[in-house]
Amino acid sequence: WRSKPEPTGVSSRAERKALEKARIQQRESEREIFRLVGRVLKKPEAERSKEEAAVLLRHRDTVDELSKRQVRRNVLKRKQEEVFDDADELKNKVRQLATAIKQANHLVVYTGAGISTAASIPDYRGPNGVWTQLQKGHTVNSSDLSKAEPTLTHMCIKMLHKEKMVKHVVSQNCDGLHLRSGLPRSALSELHGNMFIEVCTSCSPLKEYIRLFDVTERTSLHRHGTGRRCSHCSGELRDTIVHFGERGTLEQPLNWKGAAEAARKADVILCLGSSLKVLKKYACLWCMNRPASKRPKLYIVNLQWTPKDDLAMLKINGKCDDVMRLLMEEFNLQIPLYDRTEDPIFSLATPLQAEEVNSHSREVIAPPDGQNCSSNSEGQVKEATAVQGGWFGRGYGKGRKARKKSA
């Protein structure tokens, strides 16, 4: 019976198998052509043999496809590259920026991770620095962020606000450094939250607790409870962080109202160290409902490509700190230095209740030397003292005061 013609079911299975085999062979031969063409294209034209030139002519479609892929790769590469303006160009561009700032009626500053890269801790810099990792989308132990201190850029922004040149600051950063620079809270919107702030949303108005440590150690996407309780209503406190894919609605510290109002009034927007990849999605920050000519003038300081570059009056390819230093020179203003004794976080902070002292394991921002931080509970002081000789102590040793003492 084996020699009998096979029933149709079996025959179609054989057909299917043959078809599948043909498809695999087809794919394999296409891949082979891609490899071959790719190899030939890599050679300089003059070095290609007649046979190789013929291969390219025979497979025009493959040549086109490979060239398209190469163009896409180059564009992507260019967008990630860091570009630096040379010293003269930088100076010239900053002069233009200074003129624009002087003429502005309502200057609003948008900031991103790039303004914190120079935070006084060496581990923040370089290809494996905290910020590089964050920018690559890797998660970083956020307790590291509490070691940062306001940079030259943070301090200059605060100064420009005091001089009434900057009206409002909209930040994507959660590191709390604008607040710690002394910028008044009314002039600040922290669109993605502040890692030192936890809030009670059961209380009305919302009750805020500023802490001297990173409150987010137990929180994550859609899980915002910090484990501590409101001293008024005993409701669980939550962090203020807005994760990717979440919608931030908290009044403080997000202050969307302030950000939207600032954008509405703005005639000049200065973007510092933000890739603008996230910010560009918030249409109200760019007055996109207005015709292009009625929108605020855009000035961008960033080493890398941003999606708003083509719309900018000026793109400055420099480090934020370098640009701010030159800008302060243009304005004849002295660069203010961060001074821990003037860091508002120590007076703003709410002490933990006795039973909460062990509710976290993050490092505490140490109060300045010699300052008895009255807002600290006993436990926190102990903990703050405990880290003095550790990582934080070393970072602090690099500060001005320590140098003065040793000089």
Least distance to Zn ion, CB of residue 361, Å: 24
Q: Which is nearer to Zn ion, 232 or 403 (CB)?
A: 232
Q: Does 236 bind Zn ion (CB under 5 A)?
A: no
Catalytic site includes residue 232:
no
- Nearest residue to 268 via CA among 89, 115, 154, 110: 110
Region of 4-12, 25-33, 48-56, 235-243 interacting with Zn ion (CB under 5 A)? 235-243
174 annotated as belonging to a binding site for a ligand: no
> Using CB under 5 A, which of the segments 7-15, 60-68, 143-151, 198-206 binds Zn ion?
198-206
Q: Consult the annotation and say whether 271 binds a ligand.
A: no
* 202 interacts with Zn ion by CB under 5 A: yes
> How many chain residues bind Zn ion (CB under 5 A)?
7
The contact pattern for Zn ion, residues 214-233, with x = CB under 5 A and - = no contact, is ----------------x-xx
* Shorter beta-carbon distance to Zn ion: residue 61 or 355: 355
Among 91, 98, 229, 235, binds Zn ion (CB under 5 A): 235
Instruction: Specify the stretch interacting with Zn ion by CB under 5 A; choose among 117-125, 192-200, 315-323, 379-387.
Output: 192-200
Among 203, 333, 335, 381, binds Zn ion (CB under 5 A): 203
CB of 237 to Zn ion, least distance (A): 8
CB of 207 to Zn ion, least distance (A): 5
Instruction: For Zn ion, give the closer residue by CB, 204 or 334.
Output: 204
The CB-of-233 to Zn ion minimum distance in angstroms stands at: 3
* From 192, 224, 232, 243, the catalytic residue: 192
- Minimum CB separation of residue 230 from Zn ion in Å reads 3
Q: Which residues make up the interface to Zn ion (CB under 5 A)?
A: 200, 202-203, 230, 232-233, 235
Active site residues: 192
Q: Which residues are annotated as a binding site for Zn(2+)?
A: 200, 203, 230, 233
Q: Which residues are annotated as a binding site?
A: 200, 203, 230, 233
